């Protein structure tokens, strides 16, 4: 399942989550984001409840984007227990993301 994260729900859905959370910072006009999107969706479909995976639109959620220093998109940040565990800028492969989040991808 893929989540939609916002400035309003970020604290509860990401920082207070019991499982690791992958946040894909993106925008609809971003070409590389459209390449990354299907990779993220595929990973979300494979990992089940062992982690949360979702997107945060940087144009609509500038506070959170600025707080985490997102200057280029796509940026992917993996949070564990409310802390940044990994941060990637640019398109990343599914296996690399699965390894960083700590789950096996199919």
Global pTM value:
0.94
Question: What span, in angstroms and rounded, lies between the C-alpha atoms of 74 and 90?
Answer: 5
pLDDT category at 101 given cuts 50, 70, 90 is very high
Pick the CATH number of 2-99 from 3.90.950.20, 3.30.830.10, 3.40.30.10, 3.40.50.620: 3.40.30.10
- The gap from C-alpha 32 to its chain's centroid, in whole angstroms, comes to 15
Q: Could you report the per-residue pLDDT of 45-77, keeping only the tens digit for each?
A: 998 889 999 999 999 999 999 999 999 999 999
Residue 104: the pLDDT is: 60
Residue 13: the pLDDT is: 97
Axis-axis angle for helices 94-101, 31-47 (nearest 10): 50
The catalytic residue among 30, 85, 89, 91 is 30
Q: Could you report the per-residue pLDDT of 9-41, keeping only the tens digit for each?
A: 999 999 999 999 999 999 999 999 999 999 999
Residue 23: the pLDDT is: 98
20 in active site: no
Kind plus residue range of the DSSP H or E element containing 62? helix 62-67
Q: Where are the domains of the chain?
A: 2-99
Q: Could you report the per-residue pLDDT of 72-97, keeping only the tens digit for each?
A: 999 999 999 999 999 999 999 999 99
Q: Measuring CA to CA, which residue among 9, 22, 3, 37 is closest to residue 80?
A: 22
Q: Measuring CA to CA, which residue among 71, 35, 75 is closest to residue 55?
A: 75
106 in active site: no
């Amino acid at each position: 399942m893929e989540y939609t994260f916002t400035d309003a729900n970020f604290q509860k859905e990401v920082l207070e989550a019991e499982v690791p959370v992958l946040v894909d910072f993106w925008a609809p006009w971003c070409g590389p984001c459209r390449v990354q999107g299907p990779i993220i969706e595929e990973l979300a479909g494979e990992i089940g409840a062992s982690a949360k995976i979702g997107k945060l639109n940087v144009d609509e959620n500038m506070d959170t984007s600025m707080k985490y220093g997102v200057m280029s998109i796509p940026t992917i940040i993996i949070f564990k227990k409310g802390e940044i565990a990994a941060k990637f800028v640019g398109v990343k492969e599914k296996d690399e993301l699965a390894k960083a989040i700590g789950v096996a991808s199919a």
